[in-house]
Every structure is written in structure tokens, then in C-alpha cells.
């Protein structure tokens, strides 16, 4: 017997894909929603290919489904170049409208709907505007800046009125997982950078500020938390920070990353990956042929994540960068205690990309 019927929106993204694997393998009836069909090695699922900005199409398709019990919304609209869009009203409005276009018909046509989970992040604390209090806590008042997080949160709370379903918001730190060609996943970016360095006999140098204290979260851990939240009373109408449970600096994990990718690390070197990587398409093509990888063009691999790499690596930032750390006490006290060692996460994820022939196993 299935645990429930969940619709995972944005299933090709880093969190959505991890959730797809988790819920399929855990015995759920799963519908994935994204423009292209996601990969899933865990079993079968139904897929709906759709552009969430098309309101009429969304209404037609999702009004015809009446047995959804859970929704996990991970879809995201980002502009080319990524970072500037975080501050622009039309990008925020598009993210709100995408959520509305699917949640309006689902909430209206699914009387058995029980729970909705969706994502925010540390931008909720204003990390892209200013340094934040350490540790950032969910109980603090809303940071005073424009953010599509607030648009979506206020919308879900309004939609929920007079309904029987509940919601949970997760605020992850830097997310790592299995996806490529997406807006914010550093694993393929680091792997491509390493492969090109190896091919061109260039040292695998960290391309930014390696001394900043950071937190990571494995997308598989978020997926576990989303399943936990689906039935847990303590998760109802709550916001939770989520991390792996440890901290790291790029300088301290770079040797582990280098070993995982079988490359020799070099001294730190300020390289703007958003400008440098797209120029390496011919070299990447030769790497794909040499190691018999899946025929993904470099642009198809990068998405907008090379811009995210510059941001997360602190490229070009001369002044000291204050750590942006969050408290996960609330989530632990609510009953979710899972964690993962960040260095082990890097090893496992790079290995997965190699086993799936997306990144090369370098000689």
C-alpha cells in the first residue's frame, strides 16, 4: 500500500531530483512536474511536462487530478546571470505566479490534500544584502527586504485558510546534490573545473576566498526531512533551517575534493568561473569523447551554477566575509535528527556523477 500520492514540482532541480529518488524508493505514488523528464534510478513514477508560467495549461492539467495527498514545491525561476535577478521585482513575481498556477487548481480539486512543503534559504535572513546574526534563527522577525520567499509564504498561508492541509518551509544552507544544468548546484561546476584543469595541466586551485566558514546541506538530507514533515505533527505550519550538521571552509575540504576527483590541488587563485568556464567548451567536448561521457554540451552542464560558484566561493571579495551560520536546534527538537559529514557528502556525490558518466574518472 502506498504511503500517499505526492506531486514533486521542479523535479529536475537539485532538491527536486533528490526528493524524487527518496519518495519513489520509499513507496509513494509519485508525480513529477518539470519541463523535461527527470532521471530516477529508484523506480517508476508519472511525469507531467509543463511550463509553470502557462496559467491556462496548468489549470487544465492540474484541475483534472483529484487524489493528491502531498505537494513538495521546489520549482525555481532564475534569470541569466543569476545574481542580479535576486533583487528584481519581475523575477520575484514570476516565482509567485508559478506557485499560484499549480497550487490554485491542486488545492481546489484535491479535497484529500494533507500537506505542502516548499523551500526558502538563507536569503530569507538577508545574506545577499548584509551580514546576518549568528546563528540565524527561524523565530526572528522577517528581514526587511523584497524577496519572493515572502510572496510565496504569504500566498500559501492565505490559500490555507479554511482548509485542512498544513505546510512546512525548509531553509537550507548551500545545497549539493545530483543535478546539472540547473541554477544552483556546485558539484558539476567543481567537477568540470577539475577535469579541464587536468586536461590542460593547470593546477586545481581554489578560485576564490578559501577561509570563510560555511555550512552545507546534502539534497538527499533535505529529501529525508521532507518525507519526515509529510506526517509529523511537529512540522505543521513551521519553518526549519536545515544543514548537514557540521561547518567547513573551502580551504579545509579542497584536498578531499581534489582526492575525490584525482587531481592535484594548487595555491588559491582568483578565477572568475562564470567568465572562464564557458570559454572551455572545446576542451570539454574532448573530455566527453575521451572518457565516453554522456553527450552533454558544456552549456547544458553549467546552467547558471557557474555564477553561483563565484558567489559561494567569494570570488573578487577583498574584505573579510562574515560567516553566515544558522541554528538547526528547532528542527532537532521537532524530531528530525539526521545528519551527514560534509566531506563524505562530497565524496559520495562526485562518485555518483562519475558512475552515471556525467563527470570523468580521471586517470
Q: Annotate 37-67 with b (16+ C-beta within 10 A) or e (fewer).
A: ebebeeeebebbebebeeeeebbebbeebee
Query: Which is nearest to 116 in space by CA: 106, 127, 105?
Result: 106
Q: In the predicted model, is pLDDT for residue 63 greater than 70?
A: yes
Q: Do residue 45 and residue 192 come from a single domain?
A: no
Per the CB < 8 A criterion, the answer to whether 58 and 79 are in contact is no
Q: Do residue 84 and residue 182 come from a single domain?
A: no
Q: Do residue 205 and residue 347 come from a single domain?
A: yes
Q: In the predicted model, is pLDDT for residue 205 greater than 70?
A: yes
The answer to whether position 46 is within a domain reads yes
The answer to whether position 331 is within a domain reads no
pLDDT of residue 281: 97
Sequence-ordered strand ranges (E) for 257-320? 265-266
Report the SS3 class of residue 20. Answer: helix
- Distance from C-alpha of 148 to C-alpha of 297, rounded to nearest angstrom: 31
pLDDT of residue 318: 64
pLDDT of residue 176: 98
The answer to whether position 251 is within a domain reads yes
Q: Do residue 314 and residue 230 come from a single domain?
A: no
Q: Is 249 exposed, middle or buried (0-12, 13-18, 19+ CB in 10 A)?
A: middle
Q: Do residue 20 and residue 38 come from a single domain?
A: yes
Mean residue pLDDT across the chain: 96
- For residue 251, the tally of other CB atoms under 10 A from its CB is 14
Q: Do residue 50 and residue 140 come from a single domain?
A: yes
- For residue 86, the tally of other CB atoms under 10 A from its CB is 18
The answer to whether position 228 is within a domain reads yes
* Digit-coded pLDDT (tens) for 234-265: 999 999 999 999 999 999 999 999 999 999 99
- Distance from C-alpha of 62 to C-alpha of 77, rounded to nearest angstrom: 20
- For residue 118, the tally of other CB atoms under 10 A from its CB is 22
**Looking at the 3D structure of the chain, how many domains does it have?**
2
* Residues making up the chain, counted from first to last: 363
Query: Which is nearest to 5 in space by CA: 45, 38, 35?
Result: 45
* Digit-coded pLDDT (tens) for 8-38: 999 999 999 999 999 999 999 999 999 999 9
Q: By residue range, what is the domain housing residue 60?
A: 5-173+218-242
Query: Which is nearest to 231 in space by CA: 3, 1, 2, 29?
Result: 3
Q: Do residue 112 and residue 184 come from a single domain?
A: no
User: Confidence band (pLDDT; 50, 70, 90) for 55?
Assistant: very high
Q: Do residue 104 and residue 183 come from a single domain?
A: no
Average pLDDT over residues 196-205: 96
Q: In the predicted model, is pLDDT for residue 268 greater than 70?
A: yes
Which CATH number covers residue 24? Answer: 3.40.50.720
The answer to whether position 362 is within a domain reads no
Q: In the predicted model, is pLDDT for residue 317 greater than 80?
A: no
The answer to whether position 31 is within a domain reads yes
Q: Do residue 155 and residue 284 come from a single domain?
A: no
Q: In the predicted model, is pLDDT for residue 316 greater than 80?
A: no
Q: Do residue 20 and residue 159 come from a single domain?
A: yes
pLDDT of residue 320: 74
Average pLDDT over residues 327-346: 98
Q: In the predicted model, is pLDDT for residue 2 greater than 90?
A: no
Q: Do residue 114 and residue 168 come from a single domain?
A: yes
Amino acid at each position: 500500500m502506498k504511503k500517499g500520492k505526492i506531486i514533486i514540482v521542479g523535479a529536475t532541480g537539485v532538491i527536486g531530483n533528490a526528493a524524487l529518488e527518496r519518495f519513489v524508493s520509499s513507496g509513494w505514488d509519485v508525480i513529477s512536474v518539470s519541463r523535461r523528464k527527470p532521471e530516477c534510478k529508484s523506480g517508476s513514477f508519472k511525469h507531467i511536462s509543463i511550463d509553470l508560467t502557462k496559467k491556462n495549461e496548468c489549470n487544465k492539467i492540474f484541475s483534472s487530478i483529484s487524489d493528491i495527498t502531498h505537494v513538495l514545491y521546489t520549482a525555481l525561476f532564475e534569470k541569466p546571470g543569476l545574481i542580479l535577478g535576486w533583487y528584481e521585482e519581475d523575477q520575484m513575481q514570476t516565482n509567485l505566479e508559478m506557485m499560484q498556477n499549480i497550487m490554485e487548481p491542486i488545492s481546489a480539486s484535491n479535497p484529500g490534500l494533507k500537506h505542502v512543503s516548499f523551500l526558502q534559504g538563507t536569503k530569507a535572513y538577508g545574506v545577499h544584502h548584509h551580514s546576518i546574526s549568528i546563528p540565524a534563527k527561524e523565530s526572528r522577525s522577517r528581514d526587511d527586504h523584497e524577496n519572493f520567499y515572502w510572496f510565496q509564504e504569504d500566498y500559501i498561508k492565505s490559500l490555507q485558510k479554511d482548509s485542512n492541509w498544513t505546510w512546512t518551509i525548509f531553509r537550507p544552507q548551500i545545497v549539493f546534490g545530483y543535478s546539472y544544468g540547473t541554477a544552483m548546484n556546485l558539484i558539476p561546476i567543481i567537477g568540470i573545473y577539475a577535469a579541464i584543469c587536468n586536461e590542460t595541466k593547470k593546477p586545481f586551485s581554489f578560485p576564490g576566498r578559501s577561509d570563510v566558514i560555511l555550512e552545507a546541506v546534502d539534497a538527499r538530507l533535505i529529501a529525508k526531512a521532507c518525507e519526515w514533515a509529510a506526517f509529523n505533527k511537529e512540522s505543521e505550519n513551521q519553518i526549519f533551517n536545515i544543514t548537514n550538521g557540521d561547518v567547513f571552509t573551502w580551504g579545509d575540504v579542497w584536498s578531499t575534493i581534489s582526492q575525490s576527483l584525482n587531481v592535484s590541488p594548487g595555491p588559491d587563485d582568483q578565477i572568475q568561473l562564470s567568465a572562464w568556464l564557458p570559454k572551455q567548451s572545446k576542451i570539454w567536448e574532448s573530455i566527453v569523447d575521451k572518457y565516453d561521457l554522456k553527450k552533454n554540451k558544456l552549456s547544458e552542464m553549467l546552467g547558471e551554477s557557474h555564477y553561483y560558484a563565484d558567489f559561494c566561493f567569494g570570488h573578487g571579495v577583498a574584505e573579510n566575509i562574515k560567516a553566515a551560520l544558522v541554528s538547526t536546534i528547532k528542527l532537532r527538537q521537532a524530531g528530525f535528527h539526521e545528519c551527514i559529514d560534509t566531506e563524505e557528502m562530497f565524496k559520495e556525490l562526485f562518485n555518483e556523477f562519475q558512475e552515471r558518466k556525467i563527470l570523468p574518472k580521471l586517470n
